[in-house]
Amino acid sequence: METFGMKKIGNLKTKCSTSIKSSRIGVGFECLDRDMWDPNQAWPVLDALGVKWARVQTGWAKTEKEEGIYDFAWLDEIVDKIIERGVTPWLSLSYGNPVYTEDAPYHGVGKPPVYTDREKTGWHNYITALVTHYKDRVSYYEIWNEPDLLSFFKPIPKAELYVQLVKQTVEPLRAIQPDAKVIGGAIAWGMTPWSMKYFEDCLEAGLHNYIDIVTYHGYKTVPERHTTQEYPAFRNLINKYKPELEYWQGESGIPSYVPDEGKGKAALTEMKVSEEIQARMLMRRFLLEIGNGSKMVSYFQIADFGHYATLKVAFYYGILRLKDGSPKPSYFALQSLATLLCDPIEEAYGRFSCHLSVVSDSKDLRASKTPTWQVNLCKGNVPVYAWWLPDSVSDDPQWGKASVAVWLRNDLKLDDPVVINPATQEVFSVEYSMDKRTCAEDWMDPDPDAEGIRFFDALPISNSPLILTDRSIVELKD
């Protein structure tokens, strides 16, 4: 990275999950119901990662292999070890069961229990047994996975059938654990127009009456694409039907490698990928979605898959390597964000404003024409500002020079600014000047009595995010 005169002062001291009280940062413990990876790879490094949430699929078919006999031992080990490491598990109540549905596959994926009385009774009894078993350890339950996608809701996804499934799940769940948080949606196509129509149909069928949180998934080659259209539409529906409804990004990821036999078989497997590309995608998605108000953002997934579903092909979505469980660059990028964005992080809501300009465009900052992306957050009274070029994540970073003019509300603190590269965990001191002009015209003289605004004339910029904040909230390694 070109530093343009910034001085490295050290490396970020990261925080463990057990030392963080709360945050919006999560990771997927997906597909253990189908034994697609070895969870023993996660235990040595989970606490050091700093995340506070973990999505776990419960696997009805794995738990109840004979009617009325429930074996939660495999899931107990996962839940207990996650909790021991300071992380909150949220259980995805997922998938059908061949014990009750004759044509269901052995793992039950794609067969919701909504068509026969036998299926419905079996599901009711399973939910009763599961919530009774976990009510003292788990408080968050998500109902199904990607019901808008044919792969997970056969023979055809229908909003009214999904809401029926939610209702028949909530009734036994609330009877046993009335204060549990119920999560719905798990919408596969995020906030696209197709998803918005499906979500609206779910709300019209009464989904909002049964849930506290709605989840969406997001898989895009360019994370920022269409988001200025999508988030307002998504929030508009929430505000219409249930303004207090929280929204979480429950699943989003990208592989770091795709074998030839895996191309086109799963999300984003046809684009150029690498371990470095994976890390850039992760950082941009987390910053984008937290900046847009998501109360939890989860990365898919913590470890690579030895096989994917029924395919005898390895898939490399993990932030831990399949071969030996060692951390990839994406692990360290997520670790950086978990440290920097732990609570009390919140959207800035206009408490500061930054004008970012690419210097090579023009000497007149108003003439800058390169599209940029910025996220404004606050940690207490300290601004946390991220920026990058919304170019393809698959392109190698080309570092250019940017200038940033910063207005801060007078109760915010940015006296000792530092720049953090979350990909490398390097921390730099950075100089700024106080521009005392009342207008940006070059011919104007400054007002000597004015406080002015902070002006940073040489900050790096590329398609990989950087973060500017105050040194007071950043610890360095010894």
Q: What value does the mean pLDDT take over residues 219-225? A: 95
pLDDT at residue number 473: 98
Q: Tell me, what's the pLDDT at 441?
A: 83
Average pLDDT (349-360) is 95
Contacts of residue 12, Cβ cutoff 8 Å, sequence gap at least 6? 336, 339, 340, 420, 422, 425, 426, 427, 474, 475, 476, 477
Integer CA distances (angstroms), 235 to 57, 196, 211, 430, in order: 27, 10, 16, 37
**Domain tally, the chain:** 2
**Which CATH number covers residue 53?**
3.20.20.80
Please report, for the chain, how many H helices and E strands are present, in that order.
Answer: 9, 19
Same domain, 279 and 356: no
Specify whether 335 is located in the same domain as 354: no
pLDDT digits (tens, 9 = 90+) for 244-256: 999 999 999 999 9
Mean pLDDT on 274-298: 98
Q: 273 with 255: CB under 8 angstroms? A: yes
Confidence of residue 440 (pLDDT cuts 50, 70, 90): confident
| 21 falls within a domain | yes
pLDDT at 364: 76
Residues 308 and 362 occupy one common structural domain? no
Residue 197 counted as domain residue = yes
Share of residues in the chain with pLDDT > 70 (%): 100
pLDDT tens by residue, 363-406: 777 778 899 999 999 999 999 999 999 999 999 999 999 999 99
367 and 435 share one domain: yes
- Domain identity same for 203 and 271: yes
Which of 307, 327, 344 marks a domain boundary?
344
Average pLDDT over residues 187-215: 97
Domain shared by 294 and 194, yes or no:
yes
pLDDT at 275 > cutoff 90: yes
Encode pLDDT of 168-191 as tens digits. 999 999 999 999 999 999 999 999
- Count of C-beta atoms within a 10 Å radius of residue 446: 12
Domain that holds residue 369: 346-473
* Position 94 in a domain: yes
Tell me which of 318, 344, 370 is where a domain ends. 344
Res 156 pLDDT > 90 = yes
Same-domain status, 317 and 368: no
Q: Are residues 334 and 354 in the same domain?
A: no
Tens-place pLDDT, residues 309-344? 888 899 999 999 999 999 999 999 999 999 999 999
Neighbours of 31 (CB within 10 A): 24
Report yes or no on 32 lying in a domain: yes
Q: Is 4 part of any domain?
A: no
pLDDT at 414 over 90: yes
Q: Tell me if 6 is assigned to some domain.
A: no
Boundary (domain end) residue, out of 293, 320, 344: 344
Q: Give dist(CA 4, CA 403) in Å, integer.
A: 11
pLDDT band at 417 (very low <50, low <70, confident <90, very high): very high
The pLDDT of residue 432 is: 97
Chain centre to alpha carbon of residue 444: 45
Looking at residue 444, its pLDDT comes to 87
Q: Do both 38 and 95 map to the same domain?
A: yes
pLDDT at 406: 97
77 and 170 belong to one structural domain: yes
Q: Name the DSSP letter for residue 386.
A: E
Residues 110 and 252 in one domain: yes
pLDDT at 443: 87
- CA-derived radius of gyration, the chain: 24
Q: Which helix (H) or strand (E) holds 457?
A: strand 453-461
Return the CATH number at 381.
2.60.40.1180
Confidence at 439, pLDDT banded by 50, 70, 90: confident
66 is written with which tokens?
């004979």
- Cα 382 from Cα 193, distance rounded (Å): 36
Q: Could you tell me which residue, 444 or 194, shows the higher pLDDT? A: 194
Token duo for residue 428? 């730099």
Better-predicted residue by pLDDT, 146 or 308:
146
pLDDT digits (tens, 9 = 90+) for 423-438: 999 999 999 999 999 8
Residue 363 lies in a domain: yes
44-77 per-position pLDDT tens digit: 999 999 999 999 999 999 999 999 999 999 999 9
Instruction: Categorize the per-residue pLDDT at 308 as very low, low, confident or very high, splitting at 50, 70 and 90.
Output: confident
What would the mean pLDDT of 150-167 be, rounded to a whole number? 97
What is residue 309's predicted lDDT score, i.e. its pLDDT? 80
**One domain, residues 236 and 330:** yes
Q: What's the chain's average pLDDT?
A: 96
pLDDT digits (tens, 9 = 90+) for 93-122: 999 999 999 888 889 999 999 999 999 999
DSSP string, 295-345: S-EEES-SB-BSSBTTB---B---SB-TTT-PBPHHHHHHHHHHHHTBSSE
Q: Is 3 part of a structural domain of the chain?
A: no
Residue identified by tokens 């609330």 is: 174
